[in-house]
Amino acid sequence: MEKVEPRDEHRWLRRLVGEWTSEMSMDPQAGNPRGTETVRMLGDLWVLCEGTGEMPGGGTANMMMTLGYDPARQRFVGTWIGSMMTHLWVYEGTLDATRRILTLESEGPSMSGDGKTARYRDVIEMKSDDYRTLTSHTPGADGKWQTFMTAHYRRR
C-alpha cells in the first residue's frame, strides 16, 4: 500500500490538536457542565479527541471522537463514542467555504426515548486558534434544525 499524502483537509484537522477546557450550555436546569479534552494526531491523517466531562445531574463521562478526511468520498468522516451510551455515532461532513465551520451529520437514538432513530448535526466552528464551539442539532417537529447543546472549548 502506498503512503497517502495529507491534503489541506487533513492539515485543517491539526487546528484541533492541543489541550482544551470545555463548558457546555444546554437545558438551564442542567447547569453548565465542564470538562477537558486532549486532541492528538494519529499519523498525518486523523485526529483523536479524548474528553472527560461532568454529566448533567451528576457524575462524569468519557468521550472519544475520531476525525479524518476521505478524498474518495470528498467528505470528512469520523466517529463519536461516550461512556454513558452504547451507540457508536458515525459522522460524515463538509467544511464550509470560510474554512472555519465543519458540519458533521449522523444518525442515532431519538432523544424522545421512543426507540426510533433521528438525524443529528454537530457543527464545529473555529472562532479563533484558541476558541472553538461544538453545537449539536436535531430536527424539530417542523423539520427545521433545533440546537440542543453548545460546548465552548478554550485552549489551555
Tell me the domain boundaries of the chain.
8-22+32-155
The amino acid sitting at 104 is L
Tell which wins on pLDDT, 94 or 114.
94
pLDDT at 112: 83
DSSP for 23-34 reads EEE--GGG---E
* Overall average pLDDT of the 13-31 stretch: 87
Could you give the count of Cα atoms lying within 13 Å of 150 in the half-sphere of its Cβ? 8
Counting Cβ atoms within 10 Å, is residue 80 exposed (0-12), middle (13-18) or buried (19+)? buried
pLDDT tens digit sequence for 42-82? 999 999 999 999 987 789 999 999 999 999 999 999 999 99
What are the Cα distances from residue 147, in Å, to 26, 34, 90, 120? 9, 19, 19, 10
Average pLDDT over residues 109-126: 93
| pLDDT tier for residue 28 given thresholds of 50, 70 and 90 | low
User: Could you report how far apart the first and last alpha carbons of the chain are, in Å?
Assistant: 38
What are the C-alpha distances in Å from 6 to residues 21, 125, 128? 28, 22, 23
**pLDDT level of residue 35 (50, 70, 90 thresholds):** very high
**Res 30 pLDDT > 80:** no
Rounded to the nearest integer, the mean pLDDT of the chain is: 94
Q: pLDDT category, 29, cuts 50, 70, 90?
A: low
Class of the 8-22+32-155 domain? mainly beta
Contact in structure between 125 and 133 (CB atoms under 8 Å): yes
